[in-house]
Amino acid sequence: MRAQERSREAASLVELPPEETTVDAMALTHLPSARGFLKPHRIVLMAIAGGLVFCAIWFLRWDWLPQYAGALAWGVGVSLLMLASTSILGFAFAVPIGLVQVTGPWPLKALAQGFCTIIRGTPLLLQLWLLYYGLGSLFPQFPAIRQSFLWPYLREAWPYGVAALTFSFAAYEGEVMRGAFAGVPRGELEAARAFGMSRWKLFWRIWLPRAVHRALPTLNGETVLQLKSTPLVATITVIDVYAVVSKIRQVTYLTYEPLLLLALIYLLLTALLVVAFRYFENKIPTRSV
């Protein structure tokens, strides 16, 4: 039984491109299985964990919690909204970025490659600050921008956060899409052409759906990584759950309690994402390749 499981896992690992195994190594994509959960040593471990949790509740200060519960819930909402909007937008950008790298004319190809290299080669925190403090402080010098209808939005911090996170998701997922487009068997495309499909029809009906289908297994990991990146927007004054916790830390001068709660919140959010993806993966017939 174990050997079988092992070789199956090994087989799937060998076939995956390296980027995707690294994503799996960095983002939680599978919850620990509940099978055989109640082994004797686990009961002891759980007792120890229960003891630790009890100590944390008993000896640390939690009296601030009710006062900030509303703000925390709001912050979680902002974080999730950031995650959802940037993942969807980012994926929408990733499709053309992947496509032009496979089939586009060379200027577009070079542009897409350059974009991916730059975004993947620099820290997200720096990109965020470049957009907000750098680019954002240039805008008001142009009266045309200042008088335009966009200005009320450009004044805010969140558009810069959304932009930076979207670019980041697009660059990483764009690389995956490139592989997915390139990996669609030529025979399928040739068959579609033989049926007399036009180029557009071929793209919309065959190539894109097949490529997206191939990229789906990576989405789980990429989305968890994106969730792990969202707290960075707190550094440009967006009030997400991380910012709320920072505020609690500053007001109460507590070090560990708010941070432990924050870690717990992210742990639950990640688990929620993994469960949601598992649900959808079961709906869509995919193989893990």
Token look-up 């994503």 returns 23
Under a CB-based contact definition with an 8 Å cutoff, are residues 240 and 82 in contact? yes
Nearest residue (CB) to another protein, 59 versus 200: 59
Q: What is the DSSP letter of 32?
A: P
Nearest residue (CB) to another protein, 66 versus 121: 121
CB 104 to another protein: min, Å: 23
Nearest residue (CB) to another protein, 161 versus 203: 161
Question: What are the b/e assignments for 250-263, b being 16+ CB within 10 Å?
Answer: eeeebeebbeebbe
CB 66 to another protein: min, Å: 19
Nearest residue (CB) to another protein, 133 versus 280: 133
CA angle 148, 154, 156 (to 5 degrees): 135
Give dist(CA 231, CA 27) in Å, integer. Answer: 15
Question: What are the b/e assignments for 154-166, b being 16+ CB within 10 Å?
Answer: eeebbbbbbbbbb
CB 204 to another protein: min, Å: 30
How many Cβ atoms are within 10 Å of 221's Cβ, its own excluded?
24
Q: Which two tokens stand for residue 54?
A: 């009890």
Q: How far is CA 222 from CA 11, 25, 43, in A?
A: 22, 11, 34
Under a CB-based contact definition with an 8 Å cutoff, are residues 276 and 86 in contact? no
Q: Which H helix or E strand runs over 27?
A: none
Nearest residue (CB) to another protein, 56 versus 197: 56
Query: Pick from 241, 253, 203: which is nearest to 95 by CA?
Result: 203
CB 13 to another protein: min, Å: 5
CB 142 to another protein: min, Å: 9
CB 81 to another protein: min, Å: 16
Nearest residue (CB) to another protein, 141 versus 282: 141
CB 134 to another protein: min, Å: 4
Q: Which two tokens stand for residue 202?
A: 């071929």
Nearest residue (CB) to another protein, 114 versus 209: 114
Give dist(CA 143, CA 278) in Å, integer. Answer: 50
